[in-house]
Amino acid sequence: MLLSLILTLHVLVAAAIVVLVLVQHGKGADMGAAFGSGSAGSLFGSSGAANFLSRSTAVCATLFFLTSLGLTYYHAPRNDGVTSSVTKSVTTGTDTKPKAADAIPVPGAAPATSSTVPAAPAPAVDAAKQAEVPASSAPGK
């Protein structure tokens, strides 16, 4: 119930911010208002619409921020009072250090595989095709 209330308020405030930002005039709109299109100032009082719209946008932005924090708090994982860190949750009891024998492979020795799946054989390469060089990729031309 609380989640749906916060989420609904969050979406409504986001839509209100979009509408308020689109309704506001830019900095270059003052010159157009001087030539006859400046009648919107009488609707919001003598100070004009800029003051009302900017304050409304600030209130909506604050509400959007608070609902974002509320949604984050609601969806945060609960740890039952146990403090944990990112590294503890990633390494859940497994030793990540490689053993000394696994760290440096022995040259010429077959790699030790713990998998029961056999390795795929290497594809056969025709010696005649490998020696051929196409004329378009030959150096010097």
Instruction: Express each pLDDT in 5-14 by its tens digit.
Output: 999 999 999 9
Structural domains counted in the chain? 1
What is the domain range of residue 55? Answer: 10-26+41-76
Between the alpha carbon of residue 112 and those of residues 98, 105, 107, 118, the distances in Å are: 14, 9, 12, 12
Any domain includes 67 = yes
Any domain includes 93 = no
Closest by CA position to 14, among listed 55, 64, 53: 64
Q: How confident is the model at residue 2 (pLDDT cuts 50, 70, 90)?
A: confident
Any domain includes 118 = no
Contact (CB, 8 A) for 64 and 24? no
Any domain includes 47 = yes
Rounded to two decimals, what is the model's pTM?
0.46
Per residue in 8-41, pLDDT (tens digit) is: 999 999 999 999 999 987 776 665 555 655 554 5
Helix axes 49-75 and 2-23, enclosed angle (nearest 10):
150
The 3-state DSSP class for residue 3 equals helix
CB-count exposure of residue 13 (10 Å: 0-12, 13-18, 19+): buried
Any domain includes 65 = yes
Q: Which helix (H) or strand (E) holds 69?
A: helix 49-75
Contact (CB, 8 A) for 60 and 17? yes
Any domain includes 48 = yes
Any domain includes 63 = yes
Any domain includes 19 = yes
